[in-house]
């Protein structure tokens, strides 16, 4: 700090450039803040672009899911009748494990090269990050499910394309991903990383998995709707509660 009161040339020059730049900036951009929806969309687009480029994560999830289904065939050695009864269980176990892979990969991408800081530096609400990541995680899980269904149908000669089942898959995936994204954000910031996610997620996701399996088999076996309804309600309740809570606590996970 200059006690003389006369500022050096290059600083006063910098001053004038700065104020010129500042006024130009203010003229063009009233406020640099894109709004939550745009930010969410930006995050989703970023995740989809990055994945579509190399498709590493999707292929890993898919191959894994198919392997699990095939292993089940040998491990359970079922005849056609029993197989019908366990189909929904097999499907959901597969989805749960493949989902974990995707969640891990998705959050690891942010940890890599410090990108999470990049997201936090942007002048957007943190919930935009949560919703953006959740939506892209959901999309990936749905893609895998969309491919597994026909493959399973073909391999085991069953028709899985009942609209009720599709609804259950959607509701179940939403709940699973809502909590999964939050917990994956935590897991990726610990020393134990990948291993920790299933340990954190599965006990908490039990209601979703139970409800999804029961509702799925309900639709597959053609059980009357009123009996399936309680399971659907449970799924919806779970989805709402955990979307709300995860969104509310997400800030505490990412901010220091």
Partner 1 sequence: MKSKPTMLKILDIVTVLLLLAATTMVFFYAPLEAVMGQVQKVFYFHVAAGWVGMLSFLTAAFVGVMYLVKNDFKWDIVGLAAVEIGMVFAFINIVTGSIWARPIWNTWWTWDPRLTTATIMMLIYAAYLMLRAGIEDPNRRARFGAVYAIIGFLSVPLTFFSARLFRTIHPIVVGTNQPGAQGSFDMTPAMLQTFLFSLLVFTFIFIDLLWHRIRLGRLSSRVEQLKLKSLE
Partner 2 sequence: MNMDASASAIIRVNNLIKRFGLKTVLRGISFTVQPGEFVALLGPNGAGKTTFLRILSSLSKPASGQVLIAGHSLPSQASAVRSRIGVVSHQPLLYGDLSAYDNLRFYGRMYGIPSMDERITEVLELVGLLSRRRDLVRTFSRGMQQRLAIGRAVLHDPEIMLFDEPHTGLDQDACEMLDSVLSEVGARGRTVVMTSHNLSRAAGLATRFDVISRGLIVASTRQDNLNPGELLSFYNKATTKQ
User: Which of 133, 231, 232, 243 is close enough to bind partner 1 by CB under 8 A?
Assistant: 231
* Binding region for partner 2 (CB under 8 A) out of 47-55, 95-103, 144-152, 175-183: 47-55
SS3 label, residue 51: helix
Q: Is 28 in the site for partner 2 (CB under 8 A)?
A: yes
CB nearer to partner 1: pick between 151 and 254: 254
Least CB distance to partner 1 at residue 229 (A): 11
Q: How far apart are CA 7 and CA 252, in angstroms?
A: 44
Q: Is 190 in the site for partner 1 (CB under 8 A)?
A: yes
| Burial class for 114, CB neighbours closer than 10 Å (0-12, 13-18, 19+) | exposed
Asked if residues 151 and 66 have their Cβ atoms less than 8 Å apart, the reply is yes
Site for partner 1 in 196-215 (CB under 8 A): 196, 199-200, 202-207, 210-211, 214
Least CB distance to partner 1 at residue 244 (A): 10
User: Which of 40, 182, 220, 232 is close enough to bind partner 1 by CB under 8 A?
Assistant: 182
CB nearer to partner 2: pick between 120 and 204: 120
Task: Look up tokens 């040339």; give the residue.
Answer: 9
Query: DSSP secondary-structure letter at 8?
Result: -
Angstrom distances, CA of residue 42 to CA of 10, 12, 45, 122, 241: 40, 39, 5, 12, 26
Return the one option of partner 2, partner 1, none that residue 203 interacts with (CB less than 5 to 8 A, by type): partner 1
User: Which of 27, 80, 121, 224 is close enough to bind partner 2 by CB under 8 A?
Assistant: 121
Asked if residues 22 and 111 have their Cβ atoms less than 8 Å apart, the reply is no
């Amino acid at each position: 700090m200059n006690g003389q009161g006369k500022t050096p040339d290059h600083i006063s020059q910098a001053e004038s450039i700065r104020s010129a730049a500042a006024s130009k900036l203010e003229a063009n951009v009233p406020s640099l803040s894109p709004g939550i929806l745009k930010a969410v969309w930006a995050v989703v687009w970023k995740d989809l672009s990055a994945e579509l480029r190399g498709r590493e994560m999707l292929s890993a999830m898919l191959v894994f899911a198919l392997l699990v289904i095939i292993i089940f065939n040998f491990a359970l050695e079922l005849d056609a009748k029993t197989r019908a009864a366990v189909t929904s269980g097999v499907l959901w176990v597969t989805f749960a494990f493949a989902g974990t892979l995707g969640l891990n990969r998705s959050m690891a991408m942010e940890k890599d090269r410090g990108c999470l800081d990049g997201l936090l530096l942007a002048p957007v609400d943190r919930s935009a990050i949560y919703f953006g990541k959740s939506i892209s995680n959901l999309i990936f899980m749905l893609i895998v499910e969309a491919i597994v269904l026909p493959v399973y149908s073909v391999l085991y000669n069953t028709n899985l394309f009942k609209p009720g089942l599709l609804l259950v898959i959607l509701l179940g995936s939403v709940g699973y991903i809502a909590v999964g994204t939050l917990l994956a954000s935590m897991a990726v910031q610990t020393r134990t990383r990948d291993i920790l996610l299933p340990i954190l997620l599965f006990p908490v996701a039990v209601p979703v998995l139970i409800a999804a399996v029961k509702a799925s088999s309900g639709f597959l076996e053609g059980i009357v709707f009123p009996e399936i309804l309680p399971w659907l309600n449970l799924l919806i309740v779970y989805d709402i509660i955990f979307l709300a809570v995860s969104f509310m606590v997400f800030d505490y996970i990412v901010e220091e």
